[in-house]
Amino acid sequence: MIERRSVLVTGGAGFLGSHLCDRLLAAGHDVICLDNFFTGTKRNIEHLLGQPRFELLRHDVTFPLYVEVDEIYNLACPASPIHYQHDPVQTTKTSVHGAINMLGLAKRLRCRILQASTSEVYGDPSVHPQREDYWGNVNPIGPRSCYDEGKRCAETLFFDYFRQHRLDIKVARIFNTYGPRMHPNDGRVVSNFIVQALRGEPITLYGDGKQTRSFCYVDDLIDGLIRLMGSDSGFTGPVNLGSEGEFTIRHLAETIVAMVGSPSRIEFRSLPQDDPKQRRPDIGLAREQLGWQPRVPLESGLSNTIAYFRELLG
């Protein structure tokens, strides 16, 4: 039998957060889902609203919070360029002030806290694949910096609280993840291509389509976050969580068009500034420390995601 805990999930009404709430409740825990609904939606968690062990809190992490919990997953932050560039100052505040507030709460409660960091801390990497000891190649003053540098500073804060206050921290560097409940208009490549294919619109491909990405299905990613939270207190990370299967963006576009059975054609556009050409995690550390690796093949993950968007747009 598992020990029942009270868990705070910030950003709990978002894509990853809502799946995490599902899994924590299914495992028998009490969940406080905190969100300001900037990119998250009630639709993602409406099936949980009647459950006695689920509580929804409308709150902005840039303001202090006082609740009693045993664990904190800090996911609050817009994750797609369209959303995080909408109000870049607020994005940095969400990462940095949000981290300070949640770390302050964890310090007061002496509880374990996990940060959802990102592969964007590696920037446009000059080593490939990326291991956790690579320090990254990040532009500090570009349009993506509010997110990349905000997340880097949040990591710094986590490790300073660890060293200075002996806080029990966990840092996950999440690589591209996809699945049901992604935002349909967030411009992320998987959701973009699926929505365009379902609508029979041209598939917009930036650059020549030879840039590669690795895609992790949401169920695998959530499994990784839960394993990390449950890992030995000596293990802080940062640890990469993502898929090693590397695909060109063009391959992804063609696969989605074929799976949807869409008449859509591919249209090429110029590459946005600072868009990384290639990114793939080295997940040796996650394998060794967490016994974790992704299991869901791209085609089955895509098939669930296409079914979700078909119903949403239907």
Compute the radius of gyration of the chain from its Cα atoms: 19
Minimum CB distance to ligand NAD, residue 183 (Å): 6
| Residue 299 DSSP one-character state | H
Does residue 79 touch ligand NAD according to CB under 6 A? yes
The nearer residue to ligand NAD, 11 or 301, going by C-beta atoms, is: 11
Q: Which of 106, 110, 80, 76 is nearest to 93 (CA)?
A: 76
Does residue 174 touch ligand NAD according to CB under 6 A? yes
The nearer residue to ligand NAD, 45 or 167, going by C-beta atoms, is: 45
Touching ligand NAD, residues 183-212 (CB under 6 A): 183
Number of residues that bind ligand NAD (CB under 6 A): 29
Distance CA 257, CA 54 (A): 38
Does residue 176 touch ligand NAD according to CB under 6 A? yes
Interface residue with ligand NAD, options 9, 17, 150, 167 (CB under 6 A): 17
Q: Which of 18, 289, 49 is nearest to 171 (CA)?
A: 289
Does residue 94 touch ligand NAD according to CB under 6 A? yes
Q: Which stretch binds ligand NAD (CB under 6 A): 60-68, 203-211, 248-256, 278-286?
A: 60-68
The nearer residue to ligand NAD, 102 or 111, going by C-beta atoms, is: 102
The nearer residue to ligand NAD, 224 or 264, going by C-beta atoms, is: 224
Q: Which residues contact 189 (CB under 8 A, 6 or more apart)?
A: 176, 213, 249, 252
The nearer residue to ligand NAD, 30 or 35, going by C-beta atoms, is: 35
Interface residue with ligand NAD, options 21, 33, 36, 282 (CB under 6 A): 36
Distance CA 81, CA 15 (A): 15
Determine the residue type at 31.
V
Does residue 294 touch ligand NAD according to CB under 6 A? no
The nearer residue to ligand NAD, 267 or 275, going by C-beta atoms, is: 275
Does residue 38 touch ligand NAD according to CB under 6 A? yes
Q: At what angle do helices 15-26 and 218-229 cross, to 10 degrees?
A: 60
Q: Which residues contact 104 (CB under 8 A, 6 or more apart)?
A: 64
Determine the residue type at 237.
G
Minimum CB distance to ligand NAD, residue 61 (Å): 4
Is residue 66 part of the annotated active site? The answer reads no
Distance CA 230, CA 142 (A): 36
CB count within 10 Å of CB 48 equals: 19
Distance CA 313, CA 153 (A): 38
Strand partners of residue 203: 266
Q: Which residues of 112-128 are buried (b: 16+ CB within 10 A; e: fewer)?
A: bbbbbbbbbbbbbbeee
Q: Which stretch binds ligand NAD (CB under 6 A): 47-55, 56-64, 204-212, 247-255?
A: 56-64
Token readout for 48 is 């949980």
126 three-state secondary structure: coil
Q: Which stretch binds ligand NAD (CB under 6 A): 74-82, 202-210, 231-239, 250-258?
A: 74-82
Q: Which stretch binds ligand NAD (CB under 6 A): 57-65, 126-134, 196-204, 289-297?
A: 57-65
Considering the candidates 147, 161, 178, 217, report the single residue annotated as catalytic: 147
Touching ligand NAD, residues 110-129 (CB under 6 A): 116, 118
Positions touching ligand NAD (CB under 6 A) are 10-11, 13-17, 35-40, 60-62, 75-79, 94, 98, 116, 118, 174, 176-177, 183
Residues with a known catalytic role: 147
